[in-house]
Amino acid sequence: MKYPSPSISGLKTIEKVSVKDQTLEQLKNYILSGVVPLGERLPSERALADALGVGRYSVREALKVLEAVGLVESRVGEGTFLTTNTGASFGRILGLSLTTWGGTIIELQDARKMIETAAARAAAERATDSQIERIRAELDAMRANMDRVQTYLKADFNFHRRIGEASQNAIISRFVSNLIDLLEEALKEAHSDSLPAQAEGGGTHQAIFDAIARGDAKAAGDLMRDHIQFSSEVWQTVISLTADTERESTSGDD
């Protein structure tokens, strides 16, 4: 006698968590616990790695994300310090629940990673000299406006649009432009300007441009993918921190 198979629709796939993700979560909770006073130096990368039982690379990458969201700052030759304005950094994004926006932003970043990686590869193979110069102009504008968030972001977004145009594919160019338009709107709604600037910033823009300019399609695609992946990790951390803050606020009202 055959028995009907029971439904398994209620089960969810168990997600695999990487060592880097676990390291990031542990360091985030360590910082928010208040063990280290604001403005004070964190233990060294080696000490943190030993305490967590992970490699220094995982600690270093996690600290990069925490620096991008404004929890810590790295000082050359001195170490990594907690910032003193952590509350202000996240206060600006609590007006609109970033948990609500979170899925949208992360999905948007995921789509960007798929499409812009291909666009960068195509740009390296097909960009004209004038298109390369237009990409360079946006990069120069970013470099000249590091302390002017809105101007920096405008050049940053246009940097990605110009790469889409340089793919020589009108559909890919339109997809990239539309994704950047959506990202701009999402960030405006989140009322947070400096965090996205840091998330999208750094030396990777220069590396992406250099790969496109020399016609290295593989490097251009890989660098663009890694660039957007880092931005996604920053936003996931912001969302997690925001959710933690909201839970603490709710529990304090009980």
- Do 76 and 106 lie in one domain? The reply is no
Which of these ranges, 146-160, 163-177, 213-227, has the smallest mean pLDDT?
Answer: 146-160
Q: What is the pLDDT of residues 28-77, one digit of tens each?
A: 888 777 788 888 899 999 999 999 999 999 899 888 888 876 778 888 88
As a whole number, the mean pLDDT across the chain is 79
- Do 73 and 157 lie in one domain? The reply is no
Q: What are the beta bridge partners of residue 79?
A: 75
Quick check: is 12 in a domain? no
pLDDT value, residue 14: 56
Identity of the highest mean pLDDT range in 5-14, 62-71, 84-93, 97-106:
62-71
Percentage helix, strand, coil, to 5, in the chain? 70, 5, 25
- Residue 198's pLDDT band, with cuts at 50, 70 and 90, is low
Position of tokens 């398994």? 8
Q: Regarding predicted confidence, which is higher, 81 or 17?
A: 81
By the 8 A CB rule, do 254 and 242 touch?
no
- Do 107 and 193 lie in one domain? The reply is yes
Identity of the highest mean pLDDT range in 2-11, 138-147, 187-196, 233-242:
138-147
- Do 116 and 241 lie in one domain? The reply is yes
Domain housing 143: 95-252
Q: Regarding predicted confidence, which is higher, 70 or 117?
A: 117
- Do 246 and 159 lie in one domain? The reply is yes
Quick check: is 187 in a domain? yes
Write out the two tokens for 230: 């880092």
- Do 119 and 188 lie in one domain? The reply is yes
Alpha-carbon radius of gyration of the chain? 20
Quick check: is 136 in a domain? yes
- Residue 210's pLDDT band, with cuts at 50, 70 and 90, is very high
Write out the two tokens for 103: 């899925």
Identity of the highest mean pLDDT range in 73-77, 167-171, 188-192, 246-250:
167-171
Domain count, the chain: 2
Q: Regarding predicted confidence, which is higher, 179 or 106?
A: 179
Evaluate if residue 201 carries a pLDDT over 80. Answer: no
